[in-house]
A and B are shown apart, each in its own frame.
Chain A
Amino acid sequence: GQQLNQSPQSMFIQEGEDVSMNCTSSSIFNTWLWYKQDPGEGPVLLIALYKAGELTSNGRLTAQFGITRKDSFLNISASIPSDVGIYFCAGPTENSGGSNYKLTFGKGTLLTVNP
């Protein structure tokens, strides 16, 4: 099936630094979603991208839908301790008839922010 390659697997940064992570796929995606998951909690949708080339911001977060539709990146500017968590990219995969649809998730990027 389709896979999403997310990198890096983990990051250790100092408070105030900027962060960048990305997701790539060998297949074309029509939607890219970025979620954040805190320990023991469900993923929270941060940014959704629906058009190739789209650049969307949510506070200090910015995400872009790659023009090839095979990649996306998420940037966090001026990180703070509460940014700690696991960040997942996700995109829908469909069968050829379009009737079977599921979200494929990347393996996540674990972000640690040192105060």
Chain B
Amino acid sequence: ETGVTQTPRHLVMGMTNKKSLKCEQHLGHNAMYWYKQSAKKPLELMFVYSLEERVENNSVPSRFSPECPNSSHLFLHLHTLQPEDSALYLCASSRYYGRAAGESGRLNTQYFGPGTRLTVL
């Protein structure tokens, strides 16, 4: 599945660095998501963008700053992270977000990118 791509695939950064993660979807979807996956923990939803508008922020610390310049691109800007922020960061997209007329299940189905493995030293 190459519909959702993420770069870089691996990132090592110090606590004082500023870096950005990039996600791009080629599926014509209108909703994009950032998830965090830590070792031995379930996927945690961080942010949701629908039609380039942030519609959900699940109490994520301000050191994570998302940006969605258009419906195909999603960024996660990182600043002064902590070692506990080390995790696999996953991007996903879906045709729509939330309830849609008709086949809402099909239109809400999320497709994931390969992830960025982030290590904070």
Residues of A within 8 A of B (CB): 30-31, 33, 35, 40-45, 48, 50, 88, 92, 94, 98-103, 105, 107-108
Contacts and interface: CB of A to CB of B under 8 A. Distances in A.
A98 B115 contact: no
B99 A105 contact: no
A40 B56 contact: no
A30 B109 CA distance: 12
Interface string B24-68: 000000000000000000110100100000001000000000000
Contacts of A92: 105, 108
A41 B108 contact: no
Given A40-B115, A42-B90, A42-B114, A107 B108 contact: no
B75 interface: no
Interface in B80-121: 88, 90-92, 97-99, 103-106, 108-115, 117
A45 B111 contact: yes
A40 to B, nearest CB: 6
Contact of B108 (A31, A40, A44): A31
A32 to B, nearest CB: 9
A3 B43 CA distance: 13
A101 B99 contact: yes
**Nearest 8 pairs of A and B residues by beta carbon:** A31-B105, A98-B99, A42-B112, A50-B105, A101-B98, A42-B115, A43-B112, A42-B114
20 contacts: A30-B105, A31-B106, A31-B108, A31-B109, A41-B114, A42-B6, A42-B90, A42-B112, A43-B112, A45-B1, A45-B112, A50-B105, A94-B98, A94-B99, A98-B99, A99-B98, A101-B98, A103-B45, A103-B110, A108-B42
